[in-house]
Every structure is written in C-alpha cells, then in structure tokens.
Amino acid sequence: MGMYQIFITAVLVGAVSFFPETAEAAVMGPSMQKLTWHYYKVYNTCENAENFIRHQVEIVYKKDKSIAPKLLRLLYSDCFVSGCDASVLLEGPNSERMAPQNRGLGAFVIIDKIKIVLEQRCPGVVSCADILNLATRDAVHLAGAPSYPVFTGRRDGLTSDKQNVDLPSPSISWDQAMDYFKSRGLSVLDMATLLGSHTMGRTHCSYVVDRLYNYNKTGTPSPTMNKSFLSEMAKQCPPRTRKGQTDPLVYLNPDSGSNHSFTNSYYSRILSNKSVLEVDQQLLYNDDTKQISEEFAASFEDFRKSFALSMSKMGAINVLTKTEGEIRRDCRRIN
C-alpha cells in the first residue's frame, strides 16, 4: 500500500466524525469553524431553509440533470476567486461573471428561483452564498455524490470585479495546479478529489484543441493521449483555424455523457490516458496524485468520502460571517 493510500484511509476513517448531527471541530479548518451546522435551525431564523432549497433543486433536476455540473462549476468559480461570498452571482459590466474564464457559466436561474421562495418565507435571512453551497450539495447528491454536510451562516459579498478572476487554464501543469490549490488552503488530496468533479459536465473544444493539435506548442498532439481517444476527440473538435469559428461543447467524461452522473470513471480514464483536459491527465504524472487516482478508480466509496471532506473545505474558503457583508434580497445585486 502506497503512502497516499495509507493517508487516504486515515483521512476517511476520520471523516466518519463529519457525518453525525454534531461535527467534530478536529476536522474543521479555522474558516469552517466560523460556520454552523444547521445555522438557520439553530438560530430559529428560517427552520426549513434547507428543505425549501432541496425541494426546488429536485424540481429542476428532474427536468435538467446538467444542473449538477453547472452548480459545481458556479460554486468553484465563486469560492476560488474571492471566497465563498456569492460575488460571482452579482451582475454588472465588470463583474466576475464577465471574465473570460467564466464564459458559459450557468445555473443562475435556479439560484434566483430559490432566493424568491426563501424571501417569501423568511425575508432577509438566508444568504445567496449559503443557497449556492446548499443547492450544489443537493444537486450533486441527486447525481450520485454523497450528501455531505454543508455548514452555514455565510454572508454575501458587496463587490465583484472581473479583474480578480484568476481561475487557471485547464492546460496548466501539475505544479501550477498544485500551487493554485495550495494558495486556497487546499491539499494535494483535495486537488485530486475536487478535479474529480470533471466526472460530469461539458467543456468547450477551445480548451482541448491544444492537446489534439499543438501540445506545448510542438505542432503535434499530446504524446501520452490514448490514440483511439485522440481520434474520437479530433472528430468532435476540429482545428481552430479562423476567427469566429464555432466552439463545440464536448463531455468532460464521455462515460457519464448526457446522464451527468457522478461516478469514479473519471479516474479510470486518467489511468488509461483518456482524460479530456490536460489538467486532469496531469494527475497521472505525479506519484501522489497517481496513487490517489488508483485508489479512487478502485473504490468509489473512498472517492465519495474524500469528495465530502474536500467540498466542505472548499465551501469554507474566505467566508464572510456575523456582521461582514450583507444578506442580499436579490442575488444579482447588492441591497
């Protein structure tokens, strides 16, 4: 058993304490300790807030399963930029959602619907930041992920600036990806786990064509990419030769496809050199993340448990609480 397989086992045994009604502070980072388990029940401000959110997510999910990866991407785009403060939801010509890296962001409509329901039942109480975190958890759970605990009590940010959006290209190296995750207080296990979100959803061909035709500016395809998979992808993503050319969407995990199901097949594809994005394939070229990928490919349950922990950690990045920020009445604009 490798070092990281032993480490993963230890972490996941400790994760059991994460699932009872009271969370152990031992597994919570400083930022997470600012939040509260069932905040709206504990403080009697909106006892059924989580039930209202879950019900709205279930209604939308029945019609559109792509809501799960869309919410995951929206939450990542929020938390990794200025912290989980719902700043990505704010509208404006220079807001975060206008940054090039956020092209194609979706799921804003479901957040708006949930907010309208909660404002009718508990006006001015439930933050957009908490709605985004809870709705994402409920949607990915319907897709097959664990229903991990979301600690609440976040407040909403007052600013949103596209200049602050430093989300990296999906063609970055392993070292660059690791530095980026570390800068957000996340570990190598968190990175390998959270990239597993790419087990569902879609991406634009423009993020893939360099692997297919001009890997590292060599004018040739990625030498490690499985040859039959390379041919499949080339059919879906022609070379980008002219400005204004259409930019088709492809599935991040062809095994999940239009079902958008949360599985561990993402890791099996990494081990077979069949990743769509370079950042995903890079997990194979580091001993630690290779061992983690092997572990998760072999055990869906280990992936699910690690995902629960890493999502909770991500949801606590630079949160606003108490008197910081505000509780927006409309998620698209400040009060």
- Which residues are known to be catalytic? 73
Beta bridge partners of 37: 151
**For every one of its 335 residues, what pLDDT tens digit does the chain have, with 9 covering 90 and above?**
454 554 555 555 444 444 443 333 334 555 567 899 999 999 989 999 999 999 999 999 999 999 999 999 999 999 999 999 999 999 999 999 999 999 999 999 999 999 999 999 999 999 999 999 999 999 999 999 998 889 999 999 999 999 999 999 998 999 999 999 999 999 999 999 999 999 999 999 999 999 999 998 899 999 999 999 999 999 999 998 788 889 999 999 999 988 999 999 999 999 999 999 999 999 999 999 999 999 999 999 999 999 999 999 999 999 999 999 999 999 999 99
- In this prediction the pTM is 0.92
- Take residue 301 and report the two structure tokens written for it: 């349950």
Name residues whose C-beta falls within 8 Å of residue 107's C-beta, 6 or more positions apart in sequence.
Answer: 67, 70, 71, 73, 74
- C-alpha span between 270 and 252 (Å, rounded): 12
* Residue 57, H or E segment: helix 49-63
**The tokens of 188 are what?**
């190598």
Eight-state DSSP code of residue 331: T
Q: Compute the Cα dihedral for 318, 323, 328, 334 and give only its sign.
A: negative
Which three-class secondary structure string do you get for 197-238? Answer: HHHCCEEEHHHCHHHHHCHHHCCCCCCCCCHHHHHHHHHHCC
Beta bridge partners of 203: 250
CA–CA gap between residue 120 and residue 209 (Å, rounded)? 47
Q: Residue 175: enclosing H or E segment and its boundaries?
A: helix 174-182
